[in-house]
Amino acid sequence: ESVYLNGEWLAPEAAKVSVFDRGFLFADGIYEVVPVYQGQPFLLEHHLARLERSLAALAIESAGQQFWLELIDDLLARNQSDNALVYIQVTRGAEAKRSHLPQGPLAPTIFASVSAMPVHWDVPAPAQATLLEDIRWLRCDIKSISLLGNIMLKQQAQACGALEPILHRDGLITEGASSNYFAVKNGELYTAPTDHLILPGITRMWVIELARELGIPVHEQAFAVTDLAQLDELFLTSSSREVQPIGQIDDIIIGQGGCGKVTEQLVHAFHASKRQLSAQ
């Protein structure tokens, strides 16, 4: 197993960064996670486009498309990962002295690693979620390594036995702490629009694409908390969990509490696309 750090390939325990790295001091950096199936990165161009957008939002210079492509190729070759998650993190870099305002342009710190991911071909068992107030900042569209809000919310969800918190702001559902959501009502999908309040999930985008191919109407319109009890189905999406049905939010049973028909259709479509794209 070897990880990449600033031009070097190292054993994970040998990879070290300065305590003056702005990632360590200020969480001044961004990250990206790319799923890999049968050795092939899935929806890679979309993940790299989001990486570029996150870097641009923080005015951190990108190493460039070609660099990222070669980095991922090298990572997969060195780690022989069939089904995996590639992790890439870029911080603004290290400087001599702690100062909120970056002192001039720095050399970004680039770290990348791979971890094995079990690949699923079945319909996941419905999970339980809990409704929590979205306490995060107003630039959730940036895939920032500053994840304190997300972590606190995850811990709170875990304490009440839920897999994931479902977050609400001003009466509307935004997303999960590390996932997007889709609500199903009368055979149609509802998901929050990609504004500054959510991370534009690549899995979310792909599920919208699959739904359109299946002729399922999709509304990029946030679902109201007050309508939760009337939902037919609910599922979460993320690169690591793909399509995850939710059977219950706190005391509210969603539909029959199992995996609904529309969700099941999309789980199968997702598996099929995974098989297809990675066979190319």
Q: Does 175 sit near ligand PMP (CB under 6 A)? A: yes
Q: Which is nearer to ligand PMP, 21 or 175 (CB)?
A: 175
Stretch that binds ligand PMP, among 88-96, 110-118, 199-207, 255-263 (CB under 6 A): 199-207
Please indicate whether residue 185 is annotated as part of the active site. Answer: no
Q: How far is the CB of 177 from ligand PMP (least distance, A)?
A: 6
Q: What kind and span of H or E run contains 167?
A: strand 164-169
Q: How far is the CB of 205 from ligand PMP (least distance, A)?
A: 8
Q: Which is nearer to ligand PMP, 4 or 31 (CB)?
A: 31
Q: How far apart are CA 98 and CA 121, in angstroms?
A: 48
List of residues 6+ apart from 70 with CB closer than 8 A: none
Stretch that binds ligand PMP, among 109-117, 194-202, 210-218, 256-264 (CB under 6 A): 194-202
Q: How far apart are CA 233 and CA 189, in angstroms?
A: 9
Give the per-residue contact string, 109-148, with ligand PMP (x = CB under 6 A; - = no).
----------------------------------------
Q: Does 191 sit near ligand PMP (CB under 6 A)? A: no
Query: Helix %, strand %, coil % for the chain, to 5?
Result: 30, 30, 40
Catalytic residue among 16, 143, 154, 274: 143
Stretch that binds ligand PMP, among 19-27, 120-128, 172-180, 216-224 (CB under 6 A): 172-180
Q: Is the Cβ–Cβ distance between 254 and 227 less than 8 Å?
A: no
Q: Does 201 sit near ligand PMP (CB under 6 A)? A: yes
Going by their DSSP bridges, the two strands 3-5 and 8-10 should be labelled as: antiparallel
The torsion angle over the Cα atoms of residues 119, 122, 126 and 130, rounded to 10 degrees, is 20
Residue 88: CB atoms within 10 Å? 22
Residues near ligand PMP (CB under 6 A) are 33, 150, 175, 178-180, 199, 201-204, 237-239
